[in-house]
């Protein structure tokens, strides 16, 4: 090779490496699409998740490796068909890099195939549908919230061990309600408990719980085990209180039913409820205190578990993109980076189970007590590092 050739080859290599590095770092805008409810029964949950995710981005000046973070919102209205339409727009027209959502299990089931087929990394900040980290798992779906089984199964054994022998189940009639009750039932009956009856109320439509409360009372069970969230949780707890249900049996259930997000509306009607969650505001760690202070100073109220799930989604996005030096162009690499993140956040240690892509986390069993500033969640027990089983998934 003559000197001239060597010179041109050298110049080519220099130009090529400058060009390729400019491709990987020149994205300028990282687009995060949300698929969350901004209308309908779970509106406050969607807003809380979005607020807290924005807080995580604000903390780093809304930039990762020099690229600006842009949030593009999609309102699912808690309706699977609407969510699917919105996902098509976010993926094909807006060309988002990552999707964050949804809140409802039924919506999550509807979105599963489109995110996997288009290889769009999805971070689930709430919806607990079990199959998404089991037989329908994918490396493009990472759940940092919980699986419906993960929160409810521990309550089955725990309540049975506390001497509750019989229970009546009550939940909205959709995927999450059914899965939560089944998880509780499995562990409760395994530990010797008996289910005296179960009712599933029309989802998004039930305003009057009176007829159901009457059947729960008639059952004579030691406890009612329920799941409600959003407006349904507020109505249920208030109506159960006026009905006097807690005078004849223990009120227990999935902890969202008395989330700190709903307590200001439920007030003393929530006192005495026993539930389980992946976060309670009383967790005594530095990370939690800092988070509560900054959430309170920005939004004027204490954060709920939904806020923590939104905040941790933001943190996971930041850490994953940083680990790729800001290069989000390769979706396989991005999905891999997301599932590799582990953080120590407000709820405690959070790691992603490599086998299922579902979060491994502590579950807190609490009782709602009368605090100085109103009802609050007092931790009765902590079950450490709980996994979702995900036996049919092996990513
Ligand atoms: C769900 O649909 O998966 C869900 C909704 C609200 C709270 C918890 C779970």
Per-residue pLDDT of the chain (395 residues; tens, 9 = 90+): 555 565 556 554 444 444 444 444 446 999 999 999 999 999 999 999 999 999 999 999 999 999 999 999 999 999 999 999 999 999 999 999 999 999 999 999 999 999 999 999 999 999 999 999 999 999 999 999 999 999 999 999 999 999 999 999 999 999 999 999 999 999 999 999 999 999 999 999 999 999 999 999 999 999 999 999 999 999 999 999 999 999 999 999 999 999 999 999 999 999 999 999 999 999 999 999 999 999 999 999 999 999 999 999 999 999 999 999 999 999 999 999 999 999 999 999 899 999 999 999 999 999 999 999 999 999 999 999 999 999 999 89
54 C-alpha to center of ligand 1: Å? Answer: 21
119, exposed or middle or buried, with CB in 10 Å at 0-12, 13-18, 19+?
Answer: middle
- In short, whether 256's Cβ falls inside 6 Å of ligand 1 is yes
The conformation of residue 90, written as its DSSP 8-state character, comes to: I
- In short, whether 50's Cβ falls inside 6 Å of ligand 1 is no
Atom of ligand 1 nearest to the CA of 129: 3
Q: In angstroms, how far apart are the furthest CA atoms of the chain?
A: 97
The pLDDT of residue 8: 56
Query: Which helix or strand (DSSP H or E) is residue 299 part of?
Result: helix 286-299
- In short, whether 229's Cβ falls inside 6 Å of ligand 1 is yes
**Which strands make up the sheet holding 63-64, listed edge to edge?**
63-64, 67-75, 29-36, 98-100, 122-124, 141-143
- In short, whether 105's Cβ falls inside 6 Å of ligand 1 is yes
The pLDDT of residue 15: 47
Task: Determine the straight-line distance between the first and last CA of the chain, rounded to whole angstroms.
Answer: 49
CA distance 395 to 365: 30
Give the mutation target among 107, 112, 124, 128 for probing the ligand 1 site: most ligand atoms within 8 A of CB: 128
Name residues whose C-beta falls within 8 Å of residue 243's C-beta, 6 or more positions apart in sequence. 210, 213, 217
Domains in the chain, ordered, with CATH?
Answer: 29-146+284-361 (3.40.50.2300), 149-277 (3.40.50.2300)
103 C-alpha to center of ligand 1: Å? Answer: 6
Is-contact 333 325, C-beta < 8 A?
no
For ligand 1, atom 5: residue with the closest CA: 104
- In short, whether 127's Cβ falls inside 6 Å of ligand 1 is yes
The pLDDT of residue 283: 96
Q: Is 372 helix (H, G, I), strand (E, B) or coil?
A: coil
Give the mutation target among 49, 105, 304 for probing the ligand 1 site: most ligand atoms within 8 A of CB: 105
- In short, whether 103's Cβ falls inside 6 Å of ligand 1 is yes
CA distance 210 to 237: 12
């Amino acid at each position: 090779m003559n000197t001239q050739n060597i010179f041109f080859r050298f110049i080519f290599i220099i130009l090529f490496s400058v060009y390729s590095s400019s491709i990987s770092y020149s994205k300028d805008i990282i687009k995060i699409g949300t698929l969350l409810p901004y209308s309908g029964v779970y509106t406050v949950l969607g807003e809380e998740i979005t607020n807290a995710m924005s807080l995580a981005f604000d903390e780093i000046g809304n930039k990762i490796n020099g690229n600006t973070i842009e949030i593009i919102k999609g309102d699912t209205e808690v309706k699977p068909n609407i969510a699917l339409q919105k996902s098509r727009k976010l993926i094909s027209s807006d060309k988002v890099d990552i999707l964050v959502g949804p809140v409802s299990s039924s919506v999550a089931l509807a979105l599963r195939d489109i995110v996997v087929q288009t290889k769009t990394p999805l971070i689930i900040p709430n919806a607990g549908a079990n199959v998404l980290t089991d037989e329908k798992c994918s490396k493009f779906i990472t759940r940092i919230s919980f699986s419906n089984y993960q929160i409810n199964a521990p309550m089955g054994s725990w309540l049975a061990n506390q001497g509750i022998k019989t229970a009546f189940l009550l939940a909205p009639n959709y995927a999450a309600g059914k899965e939560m009750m089944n998880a509780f039932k499995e562990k409760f009956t395994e530990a010797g408990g008996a289910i005296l009856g179960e009712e599933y109320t029309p989802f998004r439509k039930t305003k009057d719980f009176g007829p159901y409360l009457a059947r729960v009372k008639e059952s004579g069970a030691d406890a009612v085990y329920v799941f409600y969230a959003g407006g349904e949780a507020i109505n249920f707890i208030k109506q159960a209180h006026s009905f006097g249900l807690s005078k004849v049996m223990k009120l227990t259930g999935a902890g969202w039913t008395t989330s700190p997000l709903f307590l200001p509306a439920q007030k003393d009607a929530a006192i005495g409820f026993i539930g389980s969650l992946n976060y309670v505001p009383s967790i005594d760690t530095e990370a939690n205190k800092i988070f509560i202070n900054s959430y309170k100073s920005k939004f004027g109220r204490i954060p709920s578990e939904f806020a923590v799930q939104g905040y941790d989604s933001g943190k996971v996005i930041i850490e994953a993109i940083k680990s790729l030096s800001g290069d989000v162009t390769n979706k396989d690499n991005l999905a891999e980076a997301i599932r590799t993140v582990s953080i120590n956040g407000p709820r405690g240690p959070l790691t992603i189970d490599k086998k299922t892509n579902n979060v491994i986390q502590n579950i807190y069993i609490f009782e709602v007590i009368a605090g100085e500033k109103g009802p609050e969640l007092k931790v009765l027990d902590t079950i450490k590092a709980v996994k979702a089983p995900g036996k049919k998934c092996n990513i």
